[in-house]
Amino acid sequence: MMLSRPLHRLLPLRQTPVLLALFWLLLAVTGPLIAPCPPGEVVSSTVFAPISSTHLLGTDYLGRDVLSRLLFGTSSTVLLCAVATVMACSAGTFLGIMAALKQGLTDTLLSRFMDGVISIPSLLSGLVAVATFGSSVPVLVLAMACIYMPGSYRTSRMLALSIVRKDFILSARMRGEKTGYLVLREILPNMTGPVLADVGLRFIYAVRLLSNLSFLGVGLQPPQTDLGSLTRENLLGLVYGAPAVIAPALTIAILTVGLNLALDGKGQRQ
Amino acid sequence: MSLLPPTAPPPLISVQNLSLTGHRGRGPETPIVTNVSFNVAEGEMLALIGESGSGKTSIALALTGYARQGCRISGGTLRVAGHDVLHMNARELHAFRGMTIAYIAQNAGAAFNPALPLMEQVIEPALVHHIMPRKEAVEQAIALFELMALPSPHTIGARYPHECSGGQLQRIMAAMALITEPEVVIFDEPTTALDVTTQIEVLEAFRLAMRQCGFTGVYVTHDLAIVAQMADRAVVLKNGTVQEEGSTGQILTAPTQPYTQALVAASEPHTRNHDPAPASAPLLDVRDILVGYGGTTPEGRPVHTILNQVSLPVLAGETMGIIGESGCGKSTLIRAIAGIQPWSAGSMMFEGQPLAADINLRSPQQRQHLQLVAQNADLVLNPAMTVQATLRRVLTFYGEDASDNAIRHILDMVRLPAALASRLPTQLSGGQKQRVNLARALAARPRLVLCDEITAALDTVVAAAILDLMMELKRELSLSWLFVTHDLHALRSVCDHVAVLYAGHCVEFSTITALQTAPHHPYARKLEASVPEMRPDWLDNILRQHGLKQDKSGPAPASGCSYMPRCPVAAATCALTPPPVWQAPSGAFIACHRTAQELS
Amino acid sequence: MTARLGEAIALRVGASLVSLVFVVVAVFFITSALPGDVAEALLGQAATPDAIAALRHSLRLDQPVLLRFAGWAGGLLRGDFGTSLVSHQPVLSMVHDRLLHSLLLAGITTLFAVPAALLLGTLSAIFRNTVFDRTISLLTLCVVSVPEFLIATLAVLVFAVELHLLPALASISDIHSIGSFLAAFSMPVATLGCVIVGQMARMTRAVMVNVLSSSWVEMAMLKGVSPAFIILRHVLPNVIAPLFNVIALSLSYLLGGVVIVESVFHYPGIASLMVDSVASRDIPLVQTCAIIFCAAYLLLTTLADIVALCSSQERTRT
């Protein structure tokens, strides 16, 4: 019965944003495995060395291999943000659909609460969370999940509301269908595209937030690294145009801009 | 007038081999209009006839040198009143539009700027083209408002668009078009969005304006009866190409092309209901239903009522029709019967059992036997489900046989090929979607099907086929239909009984045969008289009979007859007491203070 | 000004006040929710039990949380924002100067960024789907995608390192002339401006495209009204309310941008104070800064909504 639906609706694999996301995830998982040096080891006496054959992206402010550190940093940025985004969006989408379906008091209370949370700028919430709980990986992930959940809730609720108002939901309800069927078969299949696009956007926001926090020195703490902290620790190399600072900065730019461009192109075609 | 003699002066509008292309989003360019040619002589009115997607609006806009975002005029020549439209620069176009050629859009509600008073917008064409000072323009506008029979012409200009009705806005837009005394006026489906009783007021105003101002016109429409009233010649379009061109009389009475013939045949009123239902017990009995909103008054009635004690029996095996203008409560009634609109008083019986107001409190059998078919098939079919998945779910839910054979059988019932079963709704045409919509209801094996304006969004030919199908199904399955519409032709062709709704009151209830004979409730009569007929002199006759009347409107009296403000035969008592219901000799029940003799 | 408008504004202000209370409560309870003991966490493992007990008492940690909240909220109402755990100065005096500096930075940025963004967004909407629009769209997309610090870093690289035009650090203590004023402010303002303009131009374009594709703009075109006139007379009255919303929303991005810009350029504003206090876990200072930021955000959105109410008021009078 599932197969009676065309495959492309179930597997949006041919779409650029999905391919891009898969690429980054793959890099995040395999990156630490293929890194040439351990990330914390000082391997050269020259600091801020330029690109060379031994150190493909030169060395950093302590003489460590930049490529290895970049691979580890990319891995933590992508994985932490991906986990946070998935948590935020699954909770947000679930609550959003429920609010749209139940309406009434449930909807009002949830929406009021989410509006309250959303009215605090994200960087501020991040800072407050770090100030209170310290900056460990679970705190950062949970904080990002909480910060971006209301946005996902809002998007899903709007999408679900426009679907719930349609007559096919009405006729399913008149038939007496259960909530589970309504959500899984009637509502969700009609909002997968926009919800996935929203996940992509929230992921970009998460990368921005994590990088900003790390850049400010209150994100991921050494010895762990991410793209923001890599940029921060090598900021002095800016004067020499060292790859140590340019590489992580460029990686963030490619990650966020690339994904956003792909999502934007997708959105315009629809 | 139909054929120009060879020595005639050159036509005022000349379109040669016009082609338009457009694309959706970043998709490839596809033709919208190909090789369209026609001429319009000075003082002539040409109708562009076509259904949705025929390119008629694109052609009309192209006459002003304008193409919508994503569209492009890709070839041909356009001459309007001596201007080569396709070779004008921006400055010349600004001087040309609104001055030489004026445009009247379909949806006046959207075509006026919501933030500016109407007068500002009406006199704007005169001001930007510097043809008269502001004071004179205002006077001119007021004169046009009077010509258009608008209420309080001296002050209506101070209102904002949302403070006027649709029919008023349409006439104000005509005044805006005429203020510069243009040589050419384009009417783009100007009455399609209006109720039939409002449409006739607008048509009368247009007709008078045509006589007084003497412009050349292009009238875009899909309604052949309006073509008969307004146009001298007609061009029939389909999929962006010209099917047939000729005088209005020839097109309407002796069409040569198969497409035009089908169009004319579908527009002719004719009876589809050949075997009226035998008298039987009521299948559904609606009694004194009261629906409202906005809280309750101390007497326990809703503050605003939508349906005021409406009673309605639907017999087994018959088609019951409900007609009325937008806002009369007909959709609310359907929704109340369907169990998705709570009511505050009254009761319903279905198959001898009481019907709960809330769908969730109804028995599974009641839910199965009472099916709703809504107006817009695009909203009723789940875009993520194929036709067979939709039907199979209904069948399995009610425990029926859900095999491929059963699905094929149901598709066969609505005359759809089995090959469509694996398609998604987006891959179906409008008519096919509406058939699947019907199939979805029929799959539940209902006893009564509620149809809410199911032909309103369809093209004439497709709608006619759906009505035919309804009657065939009625015969084959001995179904009852409750058919809600604003289209009197459709109503007459399929129904056994008719209820006329006005402002939440059932003002007349009769058999279809009684509907043909007097007496009638004044509103039913007005409705009847407002439906355009194919006779070309229909509108002129009406104008000759009573001239152009100011449309009457006003707040309905708190107690008393709600039609009183618009009623031509209203008396003092009408404002005070609710009208009594009496039975006419024809068998019709009429709610009116006047007697049968007075209304005959 | 009618009674109905007054009522609507009062309702809106009331809703904002409720939100503010929500924020204040949330900030307090989140910052009080530290698992374990704040005092221990602050002083570290090596602290003596006496020191911890003294700190616990001074932080009123030995009281129940609701009582602490009451005391804290009461202090807020009297204008007492507490004492810094690190510098032991009253928080209010620490915040005061910094807040003025931040407001100066934000004000100057707004002065440049808002007109620039509105112009860019409007032009993009008028020339939509042209090369100009696509270029602007690409540039603004890049700006809104990357973290703010990247733009700041890039600005330092280009203007201070490569071109040697401007000092990389802003020191507003020694402003004597217009030259030194420009030198001190141009980098932070330019960076912050980029961030805001990117956001605001995109949102402005969306608002304008929405209005420009309406049927009454088409109608005005078909009446022969020139494009400039259409924008001034027809479009403008309809976009005031949504544009104020755009401005308010974008200026709230300013809050996020300010944090980064102040840190990168070592600008002595309230945001860099907050980052420092987060790093040193100076809770009273964090609380105060967070409340100030949220209040600023709420103020902006409320103002935008009030303008929207007033501009729609003219039409709904009967």
Q: pLDDT class for B376, splitting at 50, 70, 90?
A: confident
pLDDT at B372: 92
Question: For B282-516, CATH number?
Answer: 3.40.50.300
Judged by CB atoms closer than 8 Å, whether chains meet at A167 and B360 is answered as: no
Q: Which of 26-45 (C) contact A at CB < 8 A?
A: 26-27, 30-31, 33-35, 41
The mean per-residue pLDDT over the stretch B197-218 comes to: 87
Put simply, the answer to whether C19 touches A119 (Cβ < 8 Å) is: yes
Contact B169, B163 (CB under 8 A): no
Q: Would the pLDDT of B239 be above 80?
A: yes
**B97:C215 CB<8 A:** no
Mutate to test the interface with B, among C208, C212, C223 (most CBs of B within 10 A): C223
pLDDT band at C179 (very low <50, low <70, confident <90, very high): low
B chain contacts of residue A270, beta-carbon cutoff 8 Å = 25
- Residue A157's region, left for phi above 0, alpha for psi from -120 to 50, else beta, is alpha
Which chain A residues touch B422 with a CB distance below 8 Å? 4
Is A238 close to C149, i.e. CB distance below 8 A?
no
Give the pLDDT score at C318: 38
**Residues of A with Cβ-Cβ distance to C156 under 8 angstroms:** 238
Contact assignment for B128 to C226 by CB distance below 8 Å:
yes
Which token pair is B463? 């709608």
Q: Where are the alpha helices (DSSP H) in A103-136?
A: 104-118, 122-133
| CATH of residue A104 | 1.10.3720.10
pLDDT digits (tens, 9 = 90+) for B244-294: 999 999 999 999 999 999 989 888 877 887 777 677 788 999 999 998 887
According to the model, what pLDDT value does residue B173 have? 93
Residue C42 has pLDDT above 70, yes or no: no
How many domains are contained in chain A? Answer: 1
Indicate the pLDDT class of residue B209, thresholds 50, 70 and 90: confident
Residues facing residue B319 across a β-bridge: B481
Which has more confidence, C49 or C226?
A: C226
Tens digits of residue pLDDT in B423-469: 999 888 888 999 999 999 999 999 999 999 888 888 888 888 899 99
Q: What would the 3-class secondary structure string for B435-463 be?
A: HHHHHHHHCCCCCEEEEECCCCCCCHHHH
According to the model, what pLDDT value does residue C43 have? Answer: 64
> Is it the case that residue A5 has pLDDT exceeding 50?
no
ipTM: 0.82
A78-82, A192-196, B19-23, C44-48 — which is least confidently predicted? C44-48
Range of the domain at A60: 17-28+54-269
Interface mutation target, options B23, B113, B118, B186, chain C, most CBs of C under 10 Å: B113
Q: Among B204, B190, B184, B96, which Cα is nearest to B540's?
A: B204
The pLDDT value recorded for residue A55 is 80
B372, B384, B393 ranked by CB distance to A174: nearest: B372
Interface check for C293 against chain A (CB to CB < 8 A): the answer is yes
Kindly list the residues from chain C whose CB atom is less than 8 angstroms away from the CB atom of residue A253.
Answer: 142, 145-146, 150
Cα gap C269→C94, rounded to integer Å: 11
Q: Tell whether the model's pLDDT for residue A156 goes beyond 90.
A: yes
Is-contact C226 C305, C-beta < 8 A? no
Q: For C95-309, which CATH class?
A: mainly alpha
Q: Does A6 touch chain B (CB under 8 A)?
A: yes
Residues 207-246 of C with CB under 8 A from A: none
Partner residue opposite C255 with nearest CB, options A124, A133, A207: A124
Give residue B70's pLDDT band: very low, low, confident or very high (50, 70, 90).
confident
Using an 8 Å CB-CB cutoff, list chain B residues near C232: none
Query: Between these two residues, C251 and B127, which has the higher pLDDT value?
Result: B127
Q: What is the pLDDT of residues C204-217, one digit of tens each?
A: 999 999 899 888 99
Which residues in B have their CB inside 8 Å of a CB on A? Answer: 25-26, 338-340, 359-360, 364, 367, 372, 374, 376, 379-386, 388-389, 392-394, 397-398, 422, 424, 440, 444
Question: For the segment C266-316, what is each residue's pLDDT rounded down to a tens digit?
Answer: 888 888 888 888 888 788 888 888 888 888 888 888 888 888 788 766 555
- Distance (Å, whole) CA A164 – CA A167: 8
A207 and A24 Cβ atoms separated by less than 8 Å: no
Inter-chain touch C224–B128, beta carbons under 8 Å: yes
Predicted confidence at residue C176, as pLDDT, reads 60
**C170/B566: higher pLDDT:** B566
Amino acid C294: pLDDT? 83
Q: Which residue of C has its CA nearest to A124?
A: C290
For C77, the token pair is: 């109402």
Q: Where are the domains of chain B?
A: 13-109+186-267, 282-516, 529-599
Largest Cα span, chain A = 75
Q: What is the dihedral of CA A45, A51, A55, A59, to 10 degrees?
A: 40
pLDDT of A7-28, one tens digit each? 444 445 457 888 888 899 999 8
Q: What is the pLDDT of residue B560?
A: 81
Find the CB nearest A208 among C141, C147, C255: C147
Q: Is the pLDDT of residue C52 over 90?
A: no
Q: What pLDDT, on a 0 to 100 scale, did the predictor assign at position C47?
A: 67
Contact residues, C window 156-185, toward A, CB-based 8 Å cutoff = 156-157, 161
CATH number of B13-109+186-267: 3.40.50.300
- Decide if C142 and A257 are in contact by the 8 Å CB cutoff: yes
Q: How confident is the model at residue A204 (pLDDT cuts 50, 70, 90)?
A: very high
Please answer yes or no on whether C215 and B111 come within 8 Å at the CB atom.
yes
> Looking at the domain assignment, is residue A196 inside a domain?
yes
B111 in Cβ contact with B42 (< 8 Å): no
* Cβ–Cβ gap B98/C224 under 8 Å: yes
Determine the pLDDT at residue B36: 92
Long-range contacts of B505-509 (CB under 8 A, 24+ apart): B505/B308, B505/B309, B505/B310, B505/B562, B505/B591, B506/B310, B506/B311, B506/B312, B506/B591, B507/B563, B507/B590, B507/B591, B507/B592, B508/B588, B508/B589, B508/B590, B508/B591, B509/B312, B509/B588, B509/B589
Give domain status of residue A72, yes or no: yes
Contact yes or no for B389 and A4 at CB 8 A: yes
Using CB atoms, pick whichever of A1, A6, A174 lies closest to residue B367: A174
Q: CA of B60: which chain C residue's CA is closest?
A: C222
> Could B367 and A176 be called an inter-chain contact, meaning their C-beta atoms sit closer than 8 Å?
yes
**Cα C98 from Cα C271, distance rounded (Å):** 8
Number of H helices, E strands in chain C: 13, 0
Which chains have 3+ CB pairs within 8 A of C?
A: A, B
Give contacts of A208 with chain C, Cβ < 8 Å.
Answer: 145-148
DSSP state of A65: B
Quote the percentage of chain B above a pLDDT of 70: 96
Which of B63, B124, B185 should we substitute to test contact with C (largest number of C Cβ atoms within 10 Å)?
Answer: B124
Residue ranges of C 240-269 with Cβ closer than 8 A to chain A: 252-253, 255-256, 259-260, 263
Please judge whether C153 and A249 are an interchain contact, meaning their C-beta atoms are less than 8 angstroms apart: yes
* Nearest-by-CA chain B residue for C223: B98
Out of B95, B103, B110, the one facing C222 most closely (by C-beta) is B103
- Give the separation between CA B532 and CA B534, rounded to whole angstroms: 7
Question: A51-87: per-residue pLDDT in tens?
Answer: 888 888 888 888 888 899 999 999 999 999 999 999 9
Residue whose structure tokens are 């007109």: C115
> Cβ A1–B392 below 8 Å, yes or no?
yes
